[in-house]
């Protein structure tokens, strides 16, 4: 067991904060509990979370129906140890001392739940790997 210290902080970023970043944040919060601080944001946030994404997450027992897309701020990036981008390109501010990962994932925008499921499953796989790295 590792010595208690500050909780690692992770920020998930995609363009609209309506699909991929919402799923990733929900999985990490669900799996990590209070061991990791979790944020998500978008460089151009949508008005609401993608309904197909909400449905796909509900299928695995995670309710994100009350989540709302949030705008990406420099403060959120500075407050995070790990910043994971998902197709936001150069819209994410970069600060020294932060770990940046770019997860290449299909965009669920405009897709039905059948198309969202494999994206959801890949995000869960990557989040589980990240959690192992952060908490070991």
Catalytic residues: 14, 88, 92
CA distances from 62 to 55, 94, 109, 127 (A): 9, 31, 19, 14
CA distance 58 to 28: 15
Nearest to 12 by CA among 126, 97, 118, 112: 126
């Amino acid at each position: 067991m590792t010595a208690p210290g500050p909780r690692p902080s992770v920020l998930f970023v995609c363009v609209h904060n309506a699909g991929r970043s919402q799923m990733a944040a929900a999985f990490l919060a669900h799996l990590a509990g209070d061991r990791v601080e979790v944020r998500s944001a978008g460089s151009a946030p949508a008005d609401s979370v993608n309904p197909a994404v909400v449905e796909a997450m509900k299928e695995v027992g995670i309710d994100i129906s009350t989540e709302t897309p949030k705008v990406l701020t420099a403060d959120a990036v500075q407050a995070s140890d790990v910043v994971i981008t998902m197709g936001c390109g150069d819209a994410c501010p970069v600060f020294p001392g932060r770990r940046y990962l770019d997860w290449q994932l299909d965009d669920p925008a405009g897709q039905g739940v059948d198309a969202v499921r494999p994206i959801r499953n890949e995000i869960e796989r990557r989040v589980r790997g990240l959690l192992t790295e952060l908490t070991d």
